[in-house]
Amino acid sequence: MLLLSSFSILLQRHLFRTPFQWLDLARSRVVFLWLCLASISLVSPLASAHEGRPVFVELTASELSVNDTVENTLRYEVRWKIPPVIAEGLEPSILLVADSCALPPGLANQRYQPKLIGRLIYHCASLPESLAIAIRYPESNPALSSLIVSYDRHGNSQHIFSAPEQALVSIPTDSSIKSIASQYTVGGIKHILLGFDHLFFVVCLMVIAGSFSRLLIAVTGFTLAHTITLVLATLNIVVLPMFYVEILIALSVVVLAAEIIRVVRTEQSSVPSSVGHWRSLTWRYPILAAIGFGFLHGFGFAGVLSELGLPMAMKTTALLFFNLGVELGQLLFIFVSLLLVWALRQALGSALQQKVVYAGVYCVGIIATYWMLQRLILPG
């Protein structure tokens, strides 16, 4: 990872050079090529040995036939599959936590034995008001996330990803519009605020826009573009492989960061050049970059939405509120960023504040370059 980080910094420095500095790179081209080959050869074995599969849990609800001797009306079947990287004896216990639900008497009296692949059936006297899956490790969690797929009595599915530190995963039992709106709006907000590649793109777009009016136009174009591809990809009208989408999203950040540094370096240069003082279409019309790359980012949003899952009965509603959550999170981030820039200007002055912002953009470019290489060399 250290070598890959060094490689990304070196590549970023090359990307940010002006045309007159490219001649100096001829001497180091051979060294640069050897660094590329060394990075790939050292990191590739790690990629094949890396275990990225989560703990998979499937929860299925079904009706029970009610007769004079059976008091239960609902059945939950829990199936799980744990990656084989877990050592024997360290498998987690996978249990259903729900009011009015319990294991049948024959199983309830038996000692639960964790297994890599297993199945349990719970009987419920009524529809549970709260539902959760407990994932309990005998020792610490070996950094494995969890994927829970829940099917209700009507066949509607939910896909819930949980972080390794989350031992109790709640599953919504209410499929009303209010519940769906809340769940997917929060999901959209969380995704955009935790999706640093999307946030970094917005940061670069803000710097290039320069003024509030240009920023408003650019963000509107970005919103419209990623909304279009989000809808098309979610409805399976246009589908792209996520492997390429993730790489290109990181590349979009690199391109904007490189453009910012190129212009800044040229304007600060004491030797004017026709190339340096020419501002590209990206600078003159940032909405073009916002729309072009926005189409790409929409496919990334669709990939996250597919992981969350969509209820079959209210697919359009869930899609609408997820996109609303993304927009709300994006507006919140822009507001906080503008507030931070204003505070820096008040504390440091305009000239020093610009230097801090440009230094931040340089760091953004290096990180995005690292992501691009990581996603290319270490897929999945």
Q: Percentage of the chain surpassing pLDDT 70?
A: 73
At 2, the pLDDT band (50, 70, 90 cuts) reads very low
- Please state, in angstroms and rounded to a whole number, the distance separating the CA atoms of residues 29 and 270: 27
- Please state, in angstroms and rounded to a whole number, the distance separating the CA atoms of residues 34 and 66: 72
Instruction: Name the one residue in this structure whose structure tokens are 């949003």.
Output: 301
pLDDT digits (tens, 9 = 90+) for 12-47: 454 444 433 433 433 333 333 334 434 433 333 333
Q: Percentage of the chain surpassing pLDDT 90?
A: 16
Question: 185 and 325 in contact (C-beta within 8 Å)?
Answer: yes
Q: Which residues contact 19 (CB under 8 A, 6 or more apart)?
A: 273, 275
Q: Residue 291: is its pLDDT beyond 80?
A: yes
At 251, the pLDDT band (50, 70, 90 cuts) reads very high
What is the arithmetic mean of pLDDT over 43-56? 49
Among candidate residues 19, 347, 332, 33, the one with its CA nearest the CA of residue 188: 332
Which pair of tokens denotes residue 24? Answer: 């100096």
Buried b (16+ CB within 10 A) or exposed e, 260-288: bbbbbebeeeeeeeeebeeeeebbebbbe
Global confidence as pTM: 0.63
pLDDT digits (tens, 9 = 90+) for 115-164: 788 888 888 887 787 788 888 888 766 667 788 888 887 777 777 767 77
Which pair of tokens denotes residue 114? Answer: 């964790």
Question: 148 and 97 in contact (C-beta within 8 Å)?
Answer: no
Q: Residue 10: is its pLDDT beyond 70?
A: no
- Please state, in angstroms and rounded to a whole number, the distance separating the CA atoms of residues 322 and 158: 14
Buried b (16+ CB within 10 A) or exposed e, 131-144: bbbebebeeebeeb
Q: Residue 328: is its pLDDT beyond 90?
A: yes
